[in-house]
């Protein structure tokens, strides 16, 4: 989409995706004692010291993939969450899921892309681990990689709308109106039925 080519759009999108994933991870960290969660290849022994924001910024800087890949990666993460309810996104696996989703999206979307060894360096892991992550991510998706224009537009519009809601209200000159604090946004994900023209929002239990 043309909007994604705007140099100011992608940094804002990366920041919003980071905050969204951070909120989801923190929420699932708190719920880990109440829901059964499996340990997978995406699960690290400790929480990475690099923040989700810095990690996604690094991927954006060095992956050199098309802007659309980050929307598609978000679609993939949502599909993974729905298909793997026992593997929710948390602080221990979010970084590996991120690098896997972006790499798979780049391979599917772009005509030219870097190999696994390069993405491994970007993600701070070994090539062998990157290979394992890719395979497990693909199986976790059920190899459902195609993203229709309608699905892409649905997810992009959702992100765009949420980003607009987070922006501070404009300051009106010579106005006595005082704006209250914005409402906190609930973390949701889209359960999109591609066989229908509508979708519904549900709690993101990734």
Angstrom distance (rounded) from CA 62 to CA 48: 19
Confidence (pLDDT) at 37:
58
Q: What is the DSSP string of 21-90?
A: HHHHHHHHHHHTTTS-----TT--SS--SS-HHHHHHHHHHHH---THHHHHHHHHHHHHHHH-TTS---
Confidence (pLDDT) at 177:
33
Highest mean pLDDT among 25-29, 154-158, 169-173, 189-193: 154-158
The pTM (predicted TM-score) of the whole model is 0.76
- Tens-place pLDDT, residues 46-85: 888 899 999 999 999 999 898 899 999 999 999 998 998 8
Angstrom distance (rounded) from CA 70 to CA 151: 14
Angstrom distance (rounded) from CA 35 to CA 172: 47
Angstrom distance (rounded) from CA 177 to CA 26: 36
């Amino acid at each position: 989409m043309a909007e994604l080519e705007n140099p100011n759009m992608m940094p804002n999108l990366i920041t919003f995706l980071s905050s969204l994933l951070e909120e989801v991870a923190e929420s699932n960290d708190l719920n880990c004692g109440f829901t059964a969660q499996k340990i997978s290849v995406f699960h690290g022994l400790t929480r990475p010291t690099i923040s989700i924001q810095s990690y996604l910024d690094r991927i954006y800087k060095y992956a050199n993939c098309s802007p659309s890949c980050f929307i598609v990666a978000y679609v993939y993460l949502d599909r993974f969450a729905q298909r793997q309810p026992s593997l929710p996104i948390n602080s221990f696996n979010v970084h590996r899921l991120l690098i896997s989703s972006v790499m798979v999206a780049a391979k599917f979307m772009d005509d030219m892309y870097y190999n696994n060894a390069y993405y491994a360096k970007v993600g701070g892991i070994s090539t062998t681990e990157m290979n394992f992550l890719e395979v497990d991510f693909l199986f976790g998706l059920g190899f459902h990689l195609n993203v229709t224009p309608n699905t892409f537009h649905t997810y992009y519009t959702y992100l765009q709308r949420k980003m607009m809601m987070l922006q501070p209200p404009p300051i009106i000159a010579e106005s006595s109106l005082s704006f209250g604090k914005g409402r906190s946004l609930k973390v949701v994900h889209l359960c999109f039925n591609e066989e229908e023209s509508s979708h519904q929002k549900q709690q993101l239990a990734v």
